[in-house]
Amino acid sequence: MAKPKLIVFDLDYTLWPFWVDTHVDPLPQGQKWRRGLQLGVASRTGEVSGANQLLSLYNLNQYLSLKEIYPGSKVTHFNKLKADSGVQFSEMMFFDDEQRNITDVSRLGVHCVLVPNGVTMKLIREELVKFSQRRPVT
């Protein structure tokens, strides 16, 4: 089964169910499910310090090999992710709650998933299957 080499998550209303600069509720403990996948985050938040603090508080940094957290275009984030990881856009998957980010990043050739209600393990598994059905094994 073909797998993406890099999976990237937005932060606010995707990886956690709030904006980092509004309110904070504890999240349930996540699962270790990487199995050789690189994980990264890309966020346009202006609250860079708060986002990094939450990643640390929720012990998510241990799973992340790449982080692009700063205001600006998600296209800029993804160009940097590609340069830093060596992973081609066609080998990436991206989860975000904003349609404009999905539209912009999908133009690069990234497999994008709109998550208006946040990401779940069930959704990730479903999208891994869809990804593998669209791409040959490399």
Q: Where along the chain do its domains lie? A: 39-117
Q: Give the pLDDT of residue 6.
A: 74
Q: Does pLDDT of 137 surpass 80?
A: no
Write out pLDDT tens, residues 91-123.
999 999 999 999 999 999 999 999 888 787 788
Examine the pLDDT at 130 and tell me if it is beyond 60.
yes
Residue listed under structure tokens 């999908």: 106
10, 96, 97, 104: the active-site residue: 10
Q: What is the pTM of this model?
A: 0.77
CA torsion, ordered 124, 126, 127, 130, to nearest 10 deg: 160
Known catalytic membership, residue 104: no
pLDDT in tens, 61-72: 888 899 999 999
| pLDDT given for residue 17 in this prediction | 58
Look at residue 76 and tell me whether its pLDDT is greater than 90: yes
* pLDDT on residue 38: 86
pLDDT at residue 13 in the model: 64
Report pLDDT digits (tens) over 7-61.
776 766 666 655 555 444 443 344 444 566 888 999 999 989 988 998 888 788 8
Instruction: Classify residue 1 as exposed, middle or buried by CB count within 10 Å of its CB (0-12, 13-18, 19+).
Output: exposed
CA distance 89 to 24: 32
The active-site residue, picked from 12, 96, 97, 104, is 12
Q: Record the tokens describing residue 38, joined without a space.
A: 């690189």
CATH superfamily of 39-117: HAD superfamily/HAD-like (3.40.50.1000)
Give the ranges where the chain is alpha helix by DSSP (H): 48-57, 74-85, 99-106, 121-134
Question: Among this protein's residues, is 96 annotated catalytic?
Answer: no
> What integer pLDDT is reported at residue 27 of this predicted model?
35
Beta strands in the chain (DSSP E): 6-9, 38-43, 66-69, 92-96, 111-114
- At 118 the three-state DSSP class reads coil
H or E stretch covering 46: none
Contact between 40 and 8 (Cβ < 8 Å):
yes
pLDDT at 129 over 60: yes
